[in-house]
Every structure is written in structure tokens, then in C-alpha cells.
Amino acid sequence: MWKHAIEDAMEKIKNNVERFGDRFPHVSVNGRYELNNNDDWTNGFWSGMLWLCYEYSGDEAYREAARLTVKSFKRRMEQNIVLDHHDIGFLYTLSSQAQWVVEQDEESRELTLQAADVLMRRWREDGQYIQAWGLSGDAQHGGRMIIDCLMNLPLLFWAYQQTGEERYRQVAIKQADQSQRYLVRGDDSSYHTFVFDTETGEALGGATHQGFTNGSTWARGQAWGIYGFSLAYRYTGHKVYLDTAKRMASYFIGQLPEDYVAYWDFDAPVNANTYRDSSASAIAAAGLIEMLSLLDDTDPYRAEFEEKFELSMTSLVLHYSTIGEEGAEGLLKHGSYYVRGNVAPDDYMIWGDYFYLEALIRLEKGIKGYWYESQPLQETR
């Protein structure tokens, strides 16, 4: 089943290369992807999908298309096009860093190190966090950290491994620590964002941007936590991160409906019209693969995680994918972007497509630590 799903996905992606040209898919409207000129936070996922397809198939058509996206990311860096947010890792880990992993291309390595420095400039020393959005001192977002940023920290860990400069590693660890302290609640659910006083660094409280309420658990945020803390453990060996990822995964699994694909927010009222978020389940699935590669065979969580992971992936393939739908541009239906704002509440999401494909390929090939190190570092504290 996994192989068939991959082959179907790769055919759609190859068709999309011609459709999209030098533009980048974001979310869909009426079954067609909206395209932009590489000025959004989501553009790295398209590049990452092309590198995944090339690594899986060896087909030079994917490689050439992927290389062209990296050239676009180089221009974006040179022209400083919309880089005033935390999602620098999403943009450059899956594009230029992926090219470095695949080809050992020195120019892509240097571009990725530049991206790490851009992310480092978002570190706010007073509050000890990476600012989510906007410029320093921004009236609305100046004091805000975000759970999604856990997925951008591998860029800093990689920069440390490439250069030996401790500052990258220290900021990544501090951000992970603050995320564990302030974004993960006592019941292992999570806040989407947390706000600090911009002048004193005082912790003010949790809040949401895309979730149902400030105190609810936005499904995609919980999924970012599962994968992000697993990756933080891979790079550091700090067991608190793996323990946190396991607890967040247990919470996520415990909230799933009968078909094992998440609603958009775990606290939103459920009725016939409640939106799903297949992208959240795809992220959680990829995160569970990462986590399972780090767990001992005797870990008490392992059996449940393996069972529920396979049920979720099977449901995505059989009931949410576009397998057999001729002309479909996306891989997964019923993803949600910003439900409260009525922005793509039930559509294709390029990040959902990316993590779905990553999970499928890792399942089929048995790959550990995609785009990341193959073994975790030793415990250092």
C-alpha cells in the first residue's frame, strides 16, 4: 500500500512541476493550488517534496526541478524577501540543506548557514525565546514565541555541527527548553503561542492564533510538538525532550476520532460540519516515525505508538488521499489552514502533502532522521 501511494504521489508531483513552473504552491481553492513567487513561509515544502522524489526514484527530472527551487531560495535570501518570521528552517532545511545532504554542494551549504544566521537574529535575550513573527518590538507580536518553531531548530543544530559555533546550539536548546516549559501544559496538551513582556521578559500567558480558543489544543500545534521535541532529542540526547514528545503523542492519539485522523482543534465542538486537519495527522505520523526510531524496543509506549501510527497512515491513504483522482494537484484532502479566519479550512495544504510523502517514503525505505543526523548525540546534561 505504501509503495502504491508513493508512486501515485510522484506522478502527481511530476505533473505539478509543469503546472507550477517557477512558482510555489501554498493552499488550494476549489481543488487548485494557489501559487506564489517564493514569498511565503510554506515554499520549502515544495522543494522538499522534489528532493524526496529524486532520492526515492533517482529520476533526474525531480533533481533538476529541486535545484531550480534552491536557486529561487538563494534569490530570496539575497533580496531579503519576507524573512521576518521564525519559519526560516521550514524554508531552507527542506531546500538548500536538502541539496547539501543529497549532493554535498558547497554553495547550498553556505546558503543554509546564512539562513541559520537569519533565524539567530530573531533570538530575544530578555525573554529567552525566538520571536515568532514581525520585527523586534512589534506591538502585536514582539513578545510571542510559537510551538511551530520547534521544527526550525534543526537548522541551528545543523549549523552548530557544520561550524562548531556553540551559539547556534545554545539558542536551539534554550528555545526547546522554553517551549517545554511554557507551551506544553500539565496534561500534555499545548498552547499554540506564548507571550512575554517585550521590555522585562516576564511570562504573560498562553494564546492562540489559529486554534479554537486561547486555552484549546490546536491539532497541528500538538503535531509540531511531537515531531519537534523528537528532533530536539535526536540532536542533543536530552531525555526530557523525548519524554515530552512521547507525552504529547499520547495526548494526540487519545483525542483521535474513529478514523484516526484529527479534527482541526481538539477542543472544537464536534458535529457533522467540524473540519478535519489531515495535515496535522500527517505531521504527527512523520513525527511518530522519528520518535520510534529513537525508542528502545522495550519502551512501554512503543506498541501503542506503532499500532495507532499505522491505523492513522492507513486512514490517510485510503480515505484522505487523492489516489486514483485524475488531475488532482494535491496529495491529501481535508487539511485545514486557518479555520477561524475561514482561510482554506478544508483544502490541500502543501505541508500536509510534504509530511505525508515523507512518512510514506520513510515507511517504505526504513529511513531514520530524514534530512537530519542518523544517530542522536550523547546525553549532555
Q: Is 219 exposed, middle or buried (0-12, 13-18, 19+ CB in 10 A)?
A: buried
Catalytic, 87? Answer: yes
Could you write out the DSSP letters of every residue in 276-312? B-HHHHHHHHHHHHHHHTTS-TT-TTHHHHHHHHHHH
Question: What is the enclosing helix (H) or strand (E) of 36?
Answer: strand 32-36
- Sign of dihedral through CA atoms 200, 202, 204, 208? positive
Rg (CA), the chain: 19
Residue 174: which of 127, 128, 226, 231 has the closest Cα?
128
User: Which residues does residue 321 pair with via DSSP β-bridges, in sequence order?
Assistant: 332
Q: Which residue is catalytic, options 22, 39, 138, 148?
A: 148
Catalytic, 148? Answer: yes
CB-CB neighbours of 79 under 10 Å: 11
User: Which residues does residue 276 pair with via DSSP β-bridges, in sequence order?
Assistant: 263
Q: Is 271 helix (H, G, I), strand (E, B) or coil?
A: coil
Could you write out the DSSP letters of every residue in 300-350? TTHHHHHHHHHHHHHHIIIIIB-TT-TT---SB-SB-SBTTTTBSSSB-BH
User: Which residues does residue 332 pair with via DSSP β-bridges, in sequence order?
Assistant: 321
Q: Which residue is catalytic, options 8, 40, 87, 188?
A: 87
* Catalytic center residues: 87, 148
